[in-house]
Every structure is written in structure tokens, then in C-alpha cells.
Structure 1
Amino acid sequence: MARLGVNVDHVATIRQARGTKEPDPVTAAALAELAGADGITVHLREDRRHIQDRDVEILRQTLQVPLNLEMAATDEMVAIACRLRPDCVTLVPEKRQELTTEGGLDVVSHSQHLKEVIARLQQNGIVVSLFIDPDLKQIDQAFQVGTDTIEIHTGLYCDAPTRGAQLAELAKIEQAIHEAKHVGMGVNAGHGLNYRNIQDVVALGVIEEFNIGHSIISRAVLVGLDQAVREMKSLVAG
């Protein structure tokens, strides 16, 4: 059965909008854990627009489920990860002006740098995942640079304007999954998945973990975080 990782970034987004202490993403993570989340994901951005260093530090000390730290492959972030040693680091591309991560890493163009970063993180006992598009060239290069896992960017599938386009993107995801499994990498998925579109991806049957944030936090505003997590957990379980 696939695992559910709950991303609490958007709880921090609400907090930072007013510059106050609430709502606290650390508290949200604890509630998500109690509701059945198999892991917690946070993205510590270089501009600290939502998640702050203290959030990651407290989560590392208090979570009973794995902590997945999303971050750019920069010297600053690598140093933070090596100090805190989250259970997993997911390396993602990052632009200062983007509303959310816009696509997967270009592993082909940055292979040497990523290989060095991955090795350093792994030497500190951290499982490494690369957030990449369902592109076979990127899958192959991800294997070459030594990552443990990939997280397939599902954004194009989620944003597809027609059912036909959606199915075409789903086929790319399925092909990418099988290629990654063939070479022995773990496979996660995330970005844009919600309560309506996740079923087809779950039905592929081989994704190990789904990392979902925006749709869960959005639903939690209306029905509460406990119910929102439990409903998504049920969908991920198939």
C-alpha cells in the first residue's frame, strides 16, 4: 500500500501572510501524523517565504514519522540538511518568483553538481530523492548520479485540459515508473494531486509514496485537518 506524505507548507504560508505565530505548521504536522500521515514534507526555500528554519528543527525533534525536506541543491541547504539529518531530502528546482515548483529538475544538465550533492547527503545517512518530470532521459540520468529515489512531477497530468491529454500524461508517468523500477530506484509522486485526480495515478499500483500539500490544506480549511488527511489517506490506499 502506498504511503501518504503530507506537506504542511501552506499552513506556514497563512502564518507568514500576517507575520504572526499562527497557524503553526509544527502543530499541523502533529495533527496530520495523528490522522494517519505516513510522513511529513516541508520545503525550506532560500527566501524563507513560508517554512522557517525553526519549523524544520522542531519537526526533526518531535515527529514520530519520517521527515522529508524539500530543498534546492545549494551549499546553504546541504549544510542545513547535513546538520539536521532529515530522514529524506528531495532535491527540487527553485525560482524566487514562482508561486510553486514549476517543473522537475534538469538532471541531465546538472548531473555533476547533483552527483556531488547526493553523495554528501548520503554520507550523512540521508535518503535522497530527485523531483523530476516523467522523462526517460531524466530517469536514466537520475540513476547515473546515484539517487535512491525519484519523485515524479505529476503537474502536467493534473493540469491537462482534456481527458485525452490527461491519459497521455498518465501514460508517460507509467512508463517513467517502470523505467525507474527497472533500474532499482524507489518511486514517489507529487504536485497538483487532489481528491479528484489521484485515483488514476494510485491505480498504476507501483508508486510507493504520494507527497500532497495544497489540496489537503485547502480541504482542511473547510472540513478540518484530521478529516482531510484521513480522506486522502483512504484514496492513496486505493
Structure 2
Amino acid sequence: MTKLSVNINKIATLRNSRGGDVPNVVDFAKDVQRFGAEGVTIHPRPDERHIRYQDARDLKPVVYTEFNIEGNPVKSFMDLVLEVKPTQVTLVPDAEDAITSNAGWDTIKHKDFLIEVISEFQKNGIRTSIFVDPVLKQIEGAKATGTDRIELYTEGFAHQYGLGNKEGIKPYTESAVLANELGLGINAGHDLSLDNIQFFKENIPNLLEVSIGHALIAESLYLGVENVIQMYLQRLK
């Protein structure tokens, strides 16, 4: 069964909008795990506009499933991850002012940099994953970096699926097949939702984990958090 990791950035965004501590991100992380989620994901950015670096420290003692920290490996991010030592670090090449992640790594151009960063995390017992587009040469490039896993950037699939074009899954399936052949674990994330997650799962061999935040939180406004998590788990079976 593919693991569901809940990205709780949106909870921090809501909290920060009023300047207090409601909703509390630590309590929310406890709840999503109690409701069945198999992981918690956060993506702190240098300006701390949603998840703060201190949140990562506060979450460490309460995340008893998989703790995944995403981000661009600038020095402050690397220092945080090495301090907290989550289960997994997902490296994302997003600009500081990006609203959300919008592209995978060029694993060929940034090979040497990624090798250096990945080896540092692995030396400290942290599983590594890198955000990649569904392009075969980039999957091959990912293998050369020494990463444990890749995270397929799924916005393109979600957009095509929303238009009714199920052929948009093809590059993702091909990338997954190659990743499996190369011995890379496969994660996925970005714009996955209750509408498209089952189709995606059925077409990606050996999908280990999905990280879902925006859609899950939005769906929970109507359906409730516990109910939505159970709905995702059913679709991921």
C-alpha cells in the first residue's frame, strides 16, 4: 500500500494569518496520524511565511510515523534538517519567492551539487528524495546523484487529468518503470487529489508514498479531516 503523508503547510498559513497559535500545527500533526496518515510533511521556506523552522523542531517529538521535510538545500535549510534528523528530506529547487514548487531538478546540470548535499544527509542517517519532472534523462540523472528516492512532480498529470486527458499519465508511468529498473524508490506529489489519486496510483508501479497538502486541506473543509484521510487511504490501497 502506498503511504499517505499529509503536508501541513496550509495549517501554518492559516495560523500565521492571525498571528496566534490557532490552529496549532503540532496538534494537527498528532490528529492526522491518529486518523490514519502514515507520514507528516512540512516545507519550510527561508521567509517562514507558513511553516517556521521552530515548527520542525516542535514536530520532531510528536511525529511517530514518517517525518518528511521538503525544501531547497540552502545552508539554513540543511542546518535545520541535520539538527532535526527527520525520516526523509526531499530536495526541491524552488526559488525563495515561489508561491509553490513548480519544477523538478535538472539532475544533470546540478549533479555535483546534489551528490554533495545528498551524501551529507545520508551520512547522518536521513533518507533522501529529490523532486524531478517525468523525463527519462532526469530519472537517469537522479540515479547518478546517489539519492534513495525521487518524487515525481505531478502538476502536469493533474492538469491533463482535469481536462479529461488520461494519456497525461504516460510519461509518469514510463519514468516509474525506469526508476524501478534503476533501484530508485518512487514518491509523488503536487496537485494530487481525491479525484485523481486512484488513477495515478493504479498506473505507477511500486509507488511508495504520496505527499498531499493543498487539496487534502481544501477537501477537508467540506468533508472533514478524518473522513478525507480515510478516503485517500481507500484510494491508495
Q: Please indicate, yes or no, whether the TM-score normalized by the shorter chain is above 0.5.
A: yes
How far, CA to CA, are the matches of 1:21 and 1:217 in structure 2? 18
How far, CA to CA, are the matches of 2:14 and 2:108 in structure 1? 36
Per the alignment, residue 212 of structure 1 pairs with 212
Deviations 1:144-184 (A, max 9, x none): 010000010110010126333x41x2000000001111010
How far, CA to CA, are the matches of 1:231 and 1:139 in structure 2? 31
2:62 corresponds to 1:56: no
How far, CA to CA, are the matches of 2:159 and 2:17 in structure 1? 27
How far, CA to CA, are the matches of 1:40 and 1:174 in structure 2? 25
2:14 corresponds to 1:47: no
How far 1:84 moved relative to its partner? Answer: 1.0
Give the structure-1-normalised TM-score: 0.95
Q: Tell me, yes or no, if the aligned pair for 2:5 and 2:211 is still in contact at 8 Å.
A: yes
Q: Which amino acid aligns with 1:35?
A: F
Query: What number of residue pairs does the alignment pair up?
Result: 235
How far 1:143 moved relative to its partner? Answer: 0.4
Q: Which amino acid aligns with 2:31?
A: L
**Does the residue aligned with 1:61 lie in a helix, a strand or coil?**
coil
How far, CA to CA, are the matches of 2:163 and 2:80 in structure 1? 42
Per the alignment, residue 32 of structure 2 pairs with 32
Per the alignment, residue 132 of structure 1 pairs with 132
How far, CA to CA, are the matches of 2:219 and 2:22 in structure 1? 18
Alignment of 1:58-137 (within 5 A): 58-137=58-137
How far, CA to CA, are the matches of 2:25 and 2:234 in structure 1? 23
Q: Tell me, yes or no, if the aligned pair for 2:94 and 2:103 is still in contact at 8 Å.
A: no
Q: Which amino acid aligns with 1:4?
A: L
Per the alignment, residue 163 of structure 1 pairs with 164
Per the alignment, residue 14 of structure 1 pairs with 14
Q: Which amino acid aligns with 2:70?
A: E
Q: Which amino acid aligns with 1:89?
A: V
Per the alignment, residue 182 of structure 1 pairs with 181
How far, CA to CA, are the matches of 1:25 and 1:235 in structure 2? 26
Deviations 1:208-235 (A, max 9, x none): 1111111111122222211121111111
Judge which range, 52-61 or 84-93, deviates more: 52-61
How far, CA to CA, are the matches of 1:123 and 1:213 in structure 2? 29
Deviations 1:18-39 (A, max 9, x none): 2221111211111110011011
How far 1:76 moved relative to its partner? Answer: 1.4
How far, CA to CA, are the matches of 2:53 and 2:222 in structure 1? 28
Q: Tell me, yes or no, if the aligned pair for 2:151 and 2:188 is still in contact at 8 Å.
A: yes
Give unmatched runs, 5+ long, in structure 2: none
Cα RMSD, aligned residues only: 1.2
Deviations 1:67-92 (A, max 9, x none): 00001111211111111100100000
Give the structure-2-normalised TM-score: 0.95
How far, CA to CA, are the matches of 1:130 and 1:86 in structure 2? 15
How far, CA to CA, are the matches of 1:53 and 1:96 in structure 2? 15
Alignment of 1:225-236 (within 5 A): 225-236=225-236
